[in-house]
């Protein structure tokens, strides 16, 4: 499988590991933040792209009134199936859709929201142009992306541990994709290239990532993201060994028992 194919392969058991381990570890705090930003604008129609297993969708459903229409989409049907199996506090519309070719009319939403999906878009200005196209005048595109790897301690530890496990061909998914789109000037340029006339507001938001043991973030990253596919592409028999090495690196830095690491992201608001 090519690197680009591996980078978007949220299939097999990955959606379950993602939801069980990664969502509470790093995604839930930012979902609450992003949903609150959406709610503060009192939209009547909201489109979520790259919804994953629905952590933001659930937060939106809890915060927004029942009269607000929420449409949640993702490219990967397996992730949507996991999201639908968990459900939401009130009805939302689930739909498989590619953010690069949104199947919605022009000017049909007040808000387009995307949590940690923009890094995966193969042509970011084109995807941003799609978000702008489906926004009404006065609407906004709200999205977040991870800051650089070094500002996210567990992900950094995992990446370094796997480099030691596979010195001739280190798995670099975390550095290449989730933490590879953090330059604010580049983001602003891509937003402008997508047709947004005003410079976006970009906020740096720091949170804490906590788990009962170092094994939890090791499993989350090594088995709940496409990093798993990268490890198995090198040697499918070494997944457990790689996960254990990642856990050992985190425990070395944070000690045994409960671990508490820094996570950091950029939150972007582009006005239509």
List the chain residues with pLDDT less than 50.
1-4, 6-9, 11
H-state helical runs in the chain: 3-7, 14-17, 28-39, 55-63, 77-86, 124-133, 153-165, 173-176, 184-193, 215-223, 227-234, 239-254
Residue 13: the pLDDT is 57
Token pair in block for residue 31 = 């979902």
Q: Which of 166, 188, 185, 261 is nearest to 218 (CA)?
A: 261
User: Tell me, what's the pLDDT at 224?
Assistant: 87
The C-alpha atoms of residue 258 and residue 214 are separated, in whole angstroms, by 7
pLDDT attached to residue 6:
43
- The confidence score (pLDDT) of residue 20 equals 85
Report pLDDT for 29: 95
pLDDT at 17: 77
Q: Which residue has the tokens 């009319």?
A: 105
Distance CA 240, CA 16 (A): 17
Domain 3-271, CATH class in plain words: alpha beta
According to the model, what pLDDT value does residue 147 have? 98
Residue 229's pLDDT is what? 93
Q: Which pLDDT value is given to residue 67? A: 97
The predicted structure's pLDDT at residue 7: 46
Domain limits, the chain = 3-271
Distance of alpha carbon 58 from alpha carbon 54, whole angstroms: 6
**How does DSSP assign 144-178, residue by residue?**
EEE--GGGSHHHHHHHHHHHHHSTTS---HHHHTT
- According to DSSP, residue 10 is labeled -
Q: Is the dihedral of CA 209, 211, 213, 214 positive or negative?
A: negative
Sequence-ordered list of residues with C-beta below 8 angstroms from that of 198, at least 6 positions apart, any chain: 270, 271
């Amino acid at each position: 499988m090519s690197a680009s194919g591996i980078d978007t392969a949220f299939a097999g058991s990955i959606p379950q590991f993602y939801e069980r381990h990664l969502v509470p570890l790093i995604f839930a705090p930012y979902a609450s933040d992003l949903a609150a930003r959406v709610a503060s604008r009192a939209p009547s129609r909201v489109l979520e792209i790259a919804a994953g297993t629905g952590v933001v969708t659930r937060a939106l459903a809890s915060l927004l009134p029942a009269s607000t229409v929420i449409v949640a989409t993702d490219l990967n049907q397996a992730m949507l199936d996991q999201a639908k199996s968990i459900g939401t506090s009130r009805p939302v519309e689930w739909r498989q859709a590619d953010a690069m070719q949104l199947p919605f009319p022009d000017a049909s939403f007040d808000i387009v929201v995307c949590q940690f999906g923009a890094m995966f878009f193969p042509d970011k200005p084109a995807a941003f142009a799609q978000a702008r196209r489906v926004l009404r005048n006065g609407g906004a595109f709200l999205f977040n992306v991870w800051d650089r790897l070094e500002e996210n301690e567990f992900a950094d530890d995992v990446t370094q541990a796997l480099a030691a496990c596979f010195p001739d061909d280190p798995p670099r998914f975390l550095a290449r994709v989730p933490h590879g789109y953090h330059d604010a000037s580049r983001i602003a340029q891509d937003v402008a290239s997508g047709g947004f006339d005003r410079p976006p507001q970009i906020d740096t938001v720091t949170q804490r990532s906590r788990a009962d043991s170092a094994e939890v973030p090791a499993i989350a990253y090594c088995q709940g993201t496409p990093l798993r596919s990268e490890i198995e592409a090198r040697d499918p028999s070494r997944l457990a060994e790689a996960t254990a090495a990642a856990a050992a690196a985190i425990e070395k830095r944070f000690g045994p028992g409960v671990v508490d690491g820094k996570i950091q992201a950029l939150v972007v608001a582009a006005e239509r």
